[in-house]
Structure 1
Amino acid sequence: MRPLWSPHPVRHFEGGWAARDLALPEEVPVALVFDGATQAVMMASPGDLEDFIRGFALTEGLVADAARITRVEIVDQGAQGIEARAWLTPGTGAALAERRRSMVGPVGCGLCGIDSLAQALRVLPMVPPSALRLAPGDPARAMAALEGAQPLQDATRAAHAAAFWHPEEGLVALREDVGRHNALDKLAGALLARGTDVAAGVLVLTSRLSVDMVQKAAMLGAPVVIAASAPTSLALAHAEAAGLTLISRARGARFDLHTHPERMTQECPA
């Protein structure tokens, strides 16, 4: 996922103007096509697109596991964008019909094109039981691991990241994108392809926690989400109902624990 270099910007300083080189992230239309039908068109970074379509299929409820995806193909359509194509096992068409999207999704949008309130506020599966327990210092360790492994963000200062962190193994996988939802979908696809036991670790996000990010985390089966920014009230309600531990504003030793504190090794006030 290479940045683009903008050779002619100027920056204003207290003493005047100065020319500088500037790295910018790529942003292209990516059509997510299942069994020949376009399910969504998202503005995204053009890397890890096989992970993207696998993760989108999982977090949007189109498939339950990797076995439902029989083949993935990435087709560059030149100036028009890129098609990420997936073929599913027979009988998966009902889920496609229920979650059909027809609108272009900008990078900040996670629910664009859904045509009913029931789809927007879908009932989430309960997070599977897990033996995972976090020490009070773990959110800082997880966030530090994420912050030290973001080459696109380091080059451009304009990308989001989603990572999977294990208390014993450290950083297991990380994906970046100009869109926060896309980064999480790409991570979900990578974990799905590897057969990673998501219940054994933590999702770590650079972004705020809106309800759609909680929905994707729950569909992935993650027991804990740690984010750099704050959640919405609706995100908290859905996390509580799905059995998801939500940790926000993780900065150094400080963090806010919102839901399901039983996954912390140190008892905290009710």
Structure 2
Amino acid sequence: MQLAQENDVAGYVIAPDPMAPRLTRSVVGHDHTGARTEISVVEERPLTIYLNSQEIVTAMTIGDYPDYLALGFLRNQGMLGPQEVVTGIDYDEELETVVVRTETPTNHEEKLKKKTRTSGCAVGTVFGDMMEGLEGVQLSETEVKTSWLYALSAQINRTPSLYLEAGAIHGTVLCHRDRPLVYMEDVGRHNAVDKIAGWMMANHVEAGDKILYTTGRLTSEMVIKTAMMGIPVLASRSGFTAWGVEIAQQVGLTLIGRMRGQRFVCLSGEERLVRDVDPKSVADEPRRSARKAAQ
């Protein structure tokens, strides 16, 4: 397998490839009537990440973009700072390992002693103090037009994806104004956002004018990662956790959830929003009962 390559689907720099043979496979079963049926299911495989000679973590992932996943994970854990020079990334598909090499030696034994298992699907892991590094975060005050949010939601939800093909997966999309740029998917939303972080780091992409859109819950981990990346706005179709909201308010991140059709709720950073469109002019989605939403 080659390392990350870019494409141009519907204006994206990187878009999902739901037909990629390594990402799904067909499984035969039986439906509710007993009839034989065949469906696509998402593959899940381990990837062990090394920083130089130090083994850091083994993540369960769909296996695409291992270089971006490794870079982004290390960046979001504070193990790769802006001063670090990455000299190479070696991926071995057979051994299911990726090694990130830096110009100078690194030492993270103390950080590795402290692990927090997060609420992310496929179980995320955060090393060290979860709040470490947030004290100095300063997010830009870039304005965000609600027309951009509506346009992004409509386009992203119509984009061909592994979620639409097989389900059981989360997506995260890096956006600039009303244009989605990079759309990553994985079994855990933490992996998807780490791939975004890795792509930004590898390509020296400015974060202060970006929006991060996720299909998953707005948890403390998602808020922390977004703030650490320097992105000032995080939006989702899904809901919030109390700690996620508290941290967003603490660091000044605009947090928007329950984005469906013309509706959304902003629980932090309202001052960035420019309401430049009448919500009634936006196509709405039917409300779902709490019971149906939970199914």
TM-score by length of structure 1 reads 0.85
Give the aligned partner of residue 83 of structure 1: 97
Question: Shift of residue 104 of structure 1?
Answer: 11
Q: Is the 8 A contact 1:139 1:255 kept in 2?
A: no
Give the aligned partner of residue 17 of structure 2: none
Instruction: Give the secondary-structure state (helix, strand or coil) at the position aligned to 2:28.
Output: coil
Q: In the aligned structure 2, how far is the partner of 1:253 from the partner of 1:69?
A: 43
Spell out the pairing of 1:1-270 with structure 2 (5 A cutoff). Answer: 1=20, 2-12=22-32, 16-65=33-82, 68-77=85-94, 82-90=96-104, 92-93=106-107, 96-100=108-112, 107-111=121-125, 114=127, 119-130=129-140, 132-168=142-178, 170-266=179-275
Deviations 1:160-183 (A, max 9, x none): 111111115x01111111111001
Q: Is the 8 A contact 1:160 1:206 kept in 2?
A: yes
Question: Shift of residue 63 of structure 1?
Answer: 1.6
Question: Shift of residue 107 of structure 1?
Answer: 4.5
Runs of 4+ aligned structure 1 residues displaced above 6 Å come to: 101-106
- Runs of 5+ unmatched residues, structure 1: none
Question: Shift of residue 129 of structure 1?
Answer: 4.6
Cα separation, partners in 2 of 1:195 and 1:266, compared to 1, 3 Å: same
Instruction: Give the secondary-structure state (helix, strand or coil) at the position aligned to 1:54.
Output: helix
Instruction: Give the secondary-structure state (helix, strand or coil) at the position aligned to 2:234.
Output: strand
Q: Is the 8 A contact 2:234 2:255 kept in 1?
A: yes
Deviations 1:42-80 (A, max 9, x none): 1111101111011111111112238532211111235xx
Q: How many matched pairs?
A: 254
Cα separation, partners in 2 of 1:66 and 1:140, compared to 1, 3 Å: farther
Cα separation, partners in 2 of 1:103 and 1:197, compared to 1, 3 Å: closer
Percent identity of paired positions between Structure 1 and Structure 2: 25
Q: In the aligned structure 1, how far is the partner of 2:136 from the partner of 2:234?
A: 14
Question: Shift of residue 11 of structure 1?
Answer: 1.0
Deviations 1:200-250 (A, max 9, x none): 110000000111111111110000000121121111111111121100111
Cα separation, partners in 2 of 1:17 and 1:44, compared to 1, 3 Å: same
Instruction: Give the secondary-structure state (helix, strand or coil) at the position aligned to 2:100.
Output: strand
Q: In the aligned structure 1, how far is the partner of 2:237 from the partner of 2:48?
A: 29
- Further displaced range: 136-145 or 100-109: 100-109
Q: In the aligned structure 2, how far is the partner of 1:104 from the partner of 1:60?
A: 12
Question: Shift of residue 254 of structure 1?
Answer: 0.6
Given residue 102 of structure 2, which amino acid in structure 1 is its aligned partner?
L
Q: Is the 8 A contact 1:55 1:187 kept in 2?
A: yes
Instruction: Give the secondary-structure state (helix, strand or coil) at the position aligned to 2:180.
Output: strand
Given residue 155 of structure 1, which amino acid in structure 2 is its aligned partner?
E
Question: Shift of residue 131 of structure 1?
Answer: 5.1
Instruction: Give the secondary-structure state (helix, strand or coil) at the position aligned to 1:39.
Output: strand
Question: Shift of residue 122 of structure 1?
Answer: 3.0
Q: In the aligned structure 1, how far is the partner of 2:93 from the partner of 2:72?
A: 20
Given residue 139 of structure 1, which amino acid in structure 2 is its aligned partner?
L
TM-score by length of structure 2 reads 0.78
Q: Is the 8 A contact 1:162 1:203 kept in 2?
A: yes
Deviations 1:70-120 (A, max 9, x none): 211111235xxx111101231542xx23431698978432236x4x6xx13
Q: Is the 8 A contact 1:44 1:107 kept in 2?
A: no
